[in-house]
Amino acid sequence: MSVAQRPEYPIKASEFIDVLVKDIIKETSKEFPVIGSIVRINEAVFAKIEKNRVKQVLQEMERRFQGLENNQSKLQELLKKPRAYTTLIYGCDQARSDVLLDSKVKDYGCVIGNLIEIEAELDDVVEILDSLRKLSARDLKTLYQFKSASKIFDGRDVKELVGFQIPTTPPFINADVPAIKKSMRELYPSLMRLEGLGILFLESSPYGSSVPNIGGLTDKLDSFAALTPMGKKLVQALP
């Protein structure tokens, strides 16, 4: 959507969603005739699904501002800025195509709202929202362990992420090795996905080696998960 076509502020959510959905349907029909015919037949159904998804995100974004003084006027003023408007459109577009949206609506609303409020650079907007779309609920659960109230941790020991409390001295007599092994197997795919997306990276633990032998994933258990600069920005933007 060009600047010339941009609607007057304040943005009316229903108008914005209608235009967005109609444009998507039109382009799909042109580029993919077979899929386009299916879309045309079920246009009302698709449009309703798209609308509901974006509406949920917009509602969560509004809730993000409800605790602030003069929240409505603040949000309205923010959305008069081109960068904020672009962030809103991009965020809604990412959410619209996210099959896991139901489990991430609050995350989308809060992240978009935070990015708008801090007037984030568009490079950061794209990286953060693109990563959010690719993350599962399990991945987000892992990331929330890097946040405690207003405090953001630059990194966490992986053994802490699986809930393993280090005994004062080896051997690990009281360690529930099968449970630790199970937790690590569940966490491992999430760590690999987060690392692949450039949200964190694994390195040697700065606190020394002191974990029970759980087999092939022992080295990963004994590592340190450090957030990248982009990963830290994503965690800061989460609710």
Q: Given a cut of 70, is residue 32 above it in pLDDT?
A: no
- pLDDT tens per residue, range 147-166: 987 789 999 989 888 876 55
Mean predicted confidence (pLDDT) in 120-128: 94
- Decide which of 165 and 3 is more confident: 165
- pLDDT tens digits, 43-54: 566 667 777 888
Contact 221, 182 (CB under 8 A): no
The Cα 13–Cα 173 span in angstroms is 59
Instruction: Write down the pLDDT at residue 2.
Output: 46
More confident call, 186 vs 69: 186
The residue-averaged pLDDT of 101-112 equals 93
Tens of pLDDT, residues 174-184: 567 788 888 88
Average pLDDT over residues 185-208: 90
Judged against a pLDDT cut of 70, whether residue 18 lies above it is answered with no
| Residue percentage of the chain with pLDDT more than 70 | 71
Confidence band, pLDDT 50/70/90 cuts, at residue 35: low
Given a cut of 80, whether residue 141 has pLDDT beyond it is yes
Q: What is the pLDDT of residue 17?
A: 57
Q: Is 61 exposed, middle or buried (0-12, 13-18, 19+ CB in 10 A)?
A: buried
Residue 201: band (very low, low, confident or very high) from pLDDT cuts 50, 70, 90: very high
Q: Which residue has the higher pLDDT, 154 or 31?
A: 154
Return the pLDDT at 1: 45
CA distance 30 to 37: 10
Task: Please tell me the predicted confidence (pLDDT) of residue 46.
Answer: 61
Candidate from 95-99, 101-105, 127-131 with smallest mean pLDDT: 95-99
Q: Is the pLDDT of residue 197 over 90?
A: yes
Tell whether the torsion through CA atoms of 230, 113, 98 and 5 is positive or negative.
negative
User: What is the C-alpha separation between 26 and 39, in angstroms, rounded?
Assistant: 9
Confidence label for 20 from pLDDT (cuts 50, 70 and 90): low
Q: What is the signed CA dihedral for 85, 88, 92, 95, rounded to 10 degrees? A: 150
Residues 6+ apart with CB under 8 A from 203: 223, 224, 226
In this predicted structure, the answer to whether residue 124 has a pLDDT above a threshold of 90 is yes
User: In whole numbers, what is the pLDDT of the chain averaged over residues?
Assistant: 79
Q: List CB contacts of 146: < 8 A, sequence separation 6 or more.
A: 152, 153, 155, 156, 227, 235
